[in-house]
Structure 1
Amino acid sequence: MTTTDDRTTAAAVDPGPLIKLTIADCAAKVLHSAVALGVFGALADGPADADHVAAATGLHERMAPDFLDALAGLGLLERTGDRYGNSPLAEAYLVPGTATYLGGFVELTNETLYGTWGRLTEALTTGAPQHLDPDKGGFVGDRHKDPEKMKRFFAGLDAYSDRMGVEIARAVDWSRHASFTDLGGARGNLAAVLVKEHPHLTAGVFDLERTRPLFTEHTTRLGLDGRVAFTGGDFFTDDIPKADVIVLGHILHGFDTDRRRELLNRVFAAVNPGGRVLVYDRMIDDERRDPERLLSSLHMRLVSQDGSEYRVGDLRTWLAGAGFADSTAQPLLGTHTLVTAVR
């Protein structure tokens, strides 16, 4: 039974944040649809009115005004009078064909997140990971039996690893090292960025053998055939190629703590003396207060049996246990943390 005191207390608390949180996915879907329809590409040559955008993208006249104004309200478009233009953010990352295009990553998240997060309540009550069924149109990333869908998966990751590679290229003093191996480097996109930024480096990728054809196709297209070597194998059963630097990006969050320790021990054995390890993930802050990082961890628990994000302090402890020293942590792209340590 609701009392007068209850109503008075509720009236003193603004429900606005709760309402915004309730419909937060609406904003994301607006972005996803804008990328899918090509809105930002349609405005790449400069501002235009709604009729021009509708003609270029197939927007229905009934939907266009609210849709375009919502994009403006979200900071993705800028409206002057009746004309719309890309905002600086959209111009930098959402125009197809540009070197910094992140639309592939937007499409990847749209296709992979909603099906699994729609089953969150089931996962929370059963503890079971929620996998998409490829036989029902689902998408299971690099394990998909359809090569074209695998390419789409990697293309989405490439859109993000381009920016990640540039950041890592600047965050580390690579002049002190001669070689690196990107562990789980897929088709070599991050390795390609690093070797372009630092041509003196001998570059390698270590990933499952099934990835080799996609790696060869991609590095050849980038004009790096022979510049980045591919070694096929399993992290836990095959020798990791020795290098001055070994990079682990989005790797440790796929395993439980024991497997993480085991892998870091194997990495220590592969890093040349005086070299270092680089680890980046959406690591949880040590106080476990950052909601975005905790949501990333929940996502890993949702889609995998053993995965989760982990605290920075925990990783530094595991690195020390493997034999590494002088670990440091720094933010990466505002969404990740980069931890480095010396062998």
Structure 2
Amino acid sequence: MTTTDPAVPIIDVDPGPLIRLTIADCGAKVLHSAVQLDLFTALAAGPMDAGELAGATALHPRLAADFLDALAGLELLIREDGRYRNSPHAEAYLVQGRDTYLGGFIDLTNETLYGTWGRLTEALRTGEPQHLDPDKGGFVGNSHGDPEKMKRFLQGLDAFSDRMGAELARAIDWSGHRSFVDLGGARGNLAAVLVNRHPHLDAVCYDLPRTAPIFAEHVGRLGLADRIRFAAGDFFADPIPSADVIVLGHILHGFDAVQSRRLLARVYEAVRPGGAVLIYDRMIDDDRRDADRLLSSLHMRLVSRDGGEYRVADCRDWLRAEGFADGGHRPLLGTHTLVIGRSAGHEGES
């Protein structure tokens, strides 16, 4: 049968987007390999040609040209006159040794993401979280049991918390507040950004006891040990320190609606009159159409029994149900949403 046979349907739909989606993980793997080869750090010293880069990174010449040009096509490198240099994004976030370095986060994504997502079909059939090892859970795998791996992961997250802290510093009128608690604040990087931008603030980083050593090391290195205090505890079992503002970033997506409301009820008791709770996550748009946010939610369901992103409207409903006044919501970083709840007597944010 030929294509001119009238029995053969004519399909006037370009399959290109489907093919690109099918191989989308290939681009990510090119990035992961470039980070493992430390290629972007090598280029921080200046442009190189393919031969020079192969020598600097132990890149085999048989694959070098396609690999480097693919990185240029992905806008991670810039190629000019046969020489390569870092793109602005690579220079800002992929050069090892800089405070903004995301390589640790990218490495751990490579280690944990692919094995878990390779079991998506099984999860869709069973509803069960897909930990590759029952003793290793969540996005960070077993990094809590490996101090160096955990430190590398948190260094990657610091690049996000630097920007998130800067946005929170601008988005909220902190002049009427004197203290805040960063719930699940890890090693205190977001708290450090806020106290540097608003020196009148007293800060507490609240996290599990195992986080205390990496908090002390990081905050001490920043010279802020007298400005940020660490409080150890469990969100659901131990007292939450009282403060004017309590920040919950990437916390509620680890729990279901019942657990989230239970935590917010405890937060309500800890927020001082006139204060506020600030919640940010990759919340799902109320119409559930943003694919990136829905994929983020699906990932949380893959790695946890109760987690998942939640709609902005859901978050606002939970806050009202637990006694907070609705303080509205706004986008953060183009990828997250900030929802604000106010305690009694609050006059509003500017």
Whether TM-score is above 0.5 comes out as yes
User: What is the SS of the residue equivalent to 2:240?
Assistant: coil
Q: Distance in 1 between matches of 2:18 and 2:178?
A: 52
Q: Distance in 2 between matches of 1:330 and 1:42?
A: 39
- How well do the aligned residues superpose, as a CA RMSD in angstroms? 2.0
3-state SS of paired residue (2:61): coil
What SS is found at the alignment partner of 1:110?
helix
Structure 2, gaps ≥5 residues long: 344-350
Secondary structure of 1:289's counterpart equals coil
Distance 1:19 1:218, change over 3 A: same
Equivalent pair of 2:100/2:156 in contact (CA under 8 Å): no
Deviation of 1:241 after TM superposition, in Å, equals 0.3
Match for residue 9 of structure 2? 8
Q: How far apart, in 2, do the equivalents of 1:164 and 1:36 lie? A: 26
Contact 1:107–1:156 at 8 Å: present in 2 too?
no
CA contact (8 A) 1:282 1:336 kept: yes
C-alpha displacement of 1:223: 1.6
Once residues 49 and 78 of structure 2 are traced to their aligned partners in structure 1, the CA distance between those partners, rounded to angstroms, is: 11
Partner-residue secondary structure (3-state), 2:18 = helix
Q: Is 1:82–2:73 an aligned residue pair? A: no
- CA–CA distance in structure 2, aligned partners of residues 270 and 288 of structure 1: 32
Question: What is the deviation of 1:144?
Answer: 3.3
Matches within 5 A, 1:1-343: 7-9=8-10, 11-133=11-133, 140-141=140-141, 144-343=144-343
Report how far residue 134 of structure 1 moved.
Answer: 8.1
Q: Is the 8 A contact 1:141 1:153 kept in 2?
A: no
- Aligned residue number for residue 346 of structure 2: none
1:156–1:278 Cα change, 3 Å:
same
Contact 1:143 1:150 (8 Å CA) reproduced: yes
Q: Separation in 2 of the partners of 1:142 and 1:174? A: 37
Separation of aligned partners in 1, 2:240 and 2:156? 26
Larger displacement relative to structure 2 (237-246 or 213-222): 213-222
- Maintained 8 Å contact 2:203/2:228: yes
Offset from partner CA, 1:118-166 (integer Å, 9 cap, x none)? 1111111111111132889x98447632222222332232232222222
Distance 1:227 1:179, change over 3 A: same
In the alignment, the residues of structure 2 paired with residue 290 and residue 12 of structure 1 have an alpha-carbon distance, to the nearest angstrom, of 27
Q: What number of residue pairs does the alignment pair up? A: 339
Q: Distance in 2 between matches of 1:180 and 1:160?
A: 19
Distance in 2 separating the partners of 1:324 and 1:249: 18
Question: What is the deviation of 1:86?
Answer: 1.1
For 1:8, give the aligned amino acid. P
Residue type of the partner of 1:255? F
- 3-state SS of paired residue (2:283): coil
Which amino acid is the alignment partner of residue 124 of structure 1?
L
Q: TM-score normalized by structure 1?
A: 0.93
Mapped to 1, the partners of 2:98 and 2:204 lie a distance apart of 26
- Listed one character per residue, the Cα deviations across residues 10-65 of structure 1 (whole Å, up to 9, x for unaligned) are x2111111100000000011111111111111111322211121111111111110
1:191 to partner: Cα distance: 1.0
Q: 1:141 to 1:203 in 2, by over 3 A?
A: farther
The 1-side partners of 2:39 and 2:150 are apart by 25
Q: Tell me, yes or no, if the aligned pair for 1:103 and 1:159 is still in contact at 8 Å.
A: no
CA distance in 2, matches of 1:6, 1:276: 66
Comparing 219-228 and 94-103, the one that deviates more: 94-103
- Rounded to whole Å, the distance in 2 between the matches of 1:159 and 1:165 is 10
Inter-partner Cα distance in structure 1 for 2:22 and 2:87: 26
How much has 1:330 moved relative to structure 2? Answer: 1.3
The answer to whether the 8 Å contact 2:102/2:155 transfers is no
Q: 1:49 to 1:206 in 2, by over 3 A?
A: same
Give SS of 1:41's match.
helix
